[in-house]
Amino acid sequence: MPKPTLASRAAARVAASASTQPLRIAMVGHAFMGRAHSNAMRQANRFFNLPRQVVPQIVVGRDAVRAAAAADQFGFLESAIDLDHVLSRDDIDIVDVATPNDSHHAITMAALRAGKHVLCEKPLAMTLQQAKEMAALAKQKKLRVGVWHNYRRAPATALAQKMIARGDIGEVRQVRAVYLQDWLADGSIPASWRTDKKLCGSGAHGDLNAHLVDLTRALTGLEFESVCGMQQTFTKERPTGVGKGKAKVTVDDAFCFLAKFRGGAIGTYEATRAAPGRKNHNRIEISGSLGSIAWNLERMNELEVFLHDSPRDAQGFRTVMCMDSVHPYAANWWPDGHIVGYEHTFVHHLADFVVALCANQPFAPGFDDGVAVQAVLEAALQSVERGAFVTVPR
Ligand SMILES: NC(=O)c1ccc[n+]([C@@H]2O[C@H](COP(=O)([O-])OP(=O)(O)OC[C@H]3O[C@@H](n4cnc5c(N)ncnc54)[C@H](O)[C@@H]3O)[C@@H](O)[C@H]2O)c1
């Protein structure tokens, strides 16, 4: 069969989108993640043959001038500050929640009640209880929902998932995962919603361990049985950023925990925003009975793989460059070896969500996955208080 050309892909896309209504998205929040999500909205139909056209319709913010500027810059058709009015509109299909953690529950619940499909940022909620309510309402309303755990959708992590599922490394025995950043190592960095427990729930834990927990579940299929953690806040107060005052830091700078999985595997986890020199070092290594796999976001298109498939004197870790057309997502982009980056993980996430939505199929990670992540995060927080392993509720 001849390879599809760009022109034939475009023709197929036009034919597909002409026959159906577009999917119009209202995006709430328009800073870091707003930028990443809206880039995905602009790229998804250009690189994936999706059954419906994605339209970045409206940015919802709290300040009219800033929301309008964001809409203009990110390629949305409109902006607004009245979320209730936006939710009352029939032409909005999906609500994208790209706001700080304390608002995920309220915005998502309102969107679901209004009959909108929802993509929500991680961590899904502030508490396990909130996450369960969000998952229950989505189920009751039969709406399609997803959590933006985008790291599942790098070509290399998707390949790791495939290799582990087909048994390449045998039975998974150990997971060691670290997510290291350094932007809070400096005590002069001002306080923000990310250092205020009331607005974010926890620090490096909810911010970074949330990704590691999701990545573990996605890649290995393992479920957490019990966890035992410790946390530390090195900088107890920070400049407010306005005037001379100081604000108390009410979340962890670093959070480490041990994990036991159902079935006997074990794992270690470390999240920190105070590791000088580490910018976005998100690394997971999985050891199985027959081999090992390791991935690091900072070299995101490579997968380190060890398999017992060579003579013993020639064995060692090899580096698989995951940008061959046989690798997940790679053929949608450029010729072999022409690499992709951080932003592409969001494009893949949105493209898969649209496919699932149009086919009326479940999307992973959905809110049940968000609940599972929240259960691990919450159990780890409780374990710090108790100084002992805490069982993760099923
Ligand atoms: N998937 C990832 O890799 C990733 C990376 C960074 C952040 N996040 C998550 O994304 C979310 C947003 O983080 P960010 O880095 O974009 O934050 P940010 O501070 O850069 O942006 C937050 C945006 O939300 C707006 N906002 C705040 N409260 C609001 C409210 N109540 N209603 C409407 N708008 C409100 C702000 O004005 C701003 O536009 C957080 O939950 C965070 O954990 C995920």
Quick check: 278 pLDDT over 80? yes
Q: Is residue 150 in contact with ligand 1, taking CB distance under 6 Å?
A: yes
Contact 271, 262 (CB under 8 A): no
- Band (pLDDT 50/70/90 cuts) for residue 241 is confident
Ligand 1 atom, smallest distance to 149 CA: 1
Angle between helices 32-47 and 64-74 (to 10 degrees): 30
* Closest residue by Cα to residue 209 from 282, 297, 287, 131: 282
* Closest residue by Cα to residue 108 from 135, 128, 81, 82: 135
Give SS3 for 161.
helix
Cis peptide bond upstream of 4, omega within 30: no
* Chain Cα centroid distance, residue 379: 20
Q: What is the pTM of this model?
A: 0.95
Biggest alpha carbon distance in the chain? 68
pLDDT for position 18 = 41
- Exposed/middle/buried for 96, CB within 10 Å: 0-12, 13-18, 19+? buried
Quick check: 10 pLDDT over 50? no
Strands (E), 98-223: 117-120, 145-147, 172-180
Quick check: 19 pLDDT over 90? no
Q: Could you tell me what percent of the chain has a pLDDT over 70? A: 95
pLDDT for position 106 = 98
Quick check: 15 pLDDT over 70? no
Q: Is residue 282 in contact with ligand 1, taking CB distance under 6 Å?
A: no
Ligand 1 atom, smallest distance to 193 CA: 19
Ligand 1 atom, smallest distance to 192 CA: 19
Q: Is residue 15 in contact with ligand 1, taking CB distance under 6 Å?
A: no
Q: DSSP letters of 76-121?
A: -SEEES-HHHHHT-TT--EEEE-S-GGGHHHHHHHHHHTT-EEEEP
pLDDT for position 146 = 98
Region 271-291: mean pLDDT is: 98
Q: What is the pLDDT of residues 153-198, one digit of tens each?
A: 999 999 999 999 999 999 999 999 999 999 999 999 999 999 999 9
Region 316-344: mean pLDDT is: 97
- Band (pLDDT 50/70/90 cuts) for residue 12 is low
The residues facing 259 across adjacent strands are 227, 267
Q: How many CB atoms lie within 10 A of CB 77?
A: 11
pLDDT for position 362 = 94
pLDDT for position 9 = 52
Residue 352 alpha carbon to ligand 1 centre in Å: 22
The sign one gets for the Cα dihedral 126, 130, 132, 138 is negative
User: What is the C-alpha to C-alpha distance for residues 40 and 190, in angstroms, rounded to an integer?
Assistant: 30
- The token duo for 151 is 């790291």
Give SS3 for 362.
coil
Angle between helices 342-359 and 32-47 (to 10 degrees): 60
Q: Which run of H or of E encompasses 380?
A: helix 367-386
Q: How many CB atoms lie within 10 A of CB 91?
A: 11
pLDDT for position 20 = 81
Q: What is the pLDDT of residues 360-386, one digit of tens each?
A: 999 999 999 999 999 999 999 999 999
- The token duo for 394 is 């099923």
Q: What is the pLDDT of residues 287-298, one digit of tens each?
A: 999 999 999 999
User: Which residue segments constitute the domains of the chain, with CATH numbers given?
Assistant: 6-150 (3.40.50.720), 152-340+348-391 (3.30.360.10)
Contact 340, 323 (CB under 8 A): yes
User: What is the C-alpha to C-alpha distance for residues 145 and 54, in angstroms, rounded to an integer?
Assistant: 16
Ligand 1 atom, smallest distance to 106 CA: 31
Average pLDDT, the chain: 95
153: DSSP letter = G
User: What is the C-alpha to C-alpha distance for residues 230 and 94, in angstroms, rounded to an integer?
Assistant: 38
* Closest residue by Cα to residue 47 from 353, 333, 329, 345: 333
Residue 91 has, within 13 A of its CA and on its CB side, a CA count of 9
Q: What is the pLDDT of residues 52-93, one digit of tens each?
A: 999 999 999 999 999 999 999 999 999 999 999 999 999 999
Q: How many CB atoms lie within 10 A of CB 268?
A: 14
Region 291-317: mean pLDDT is: 96
- The token duo for 300 is 């995101």
Q: Is residue 152 in contact with ligand 1, taking CB distance under 6 Å?
A: no
Q: Is residue 317 in contact with ligand 1, taking CB distance under 6 Å?
A: no
pLDDT for position 6 = 47
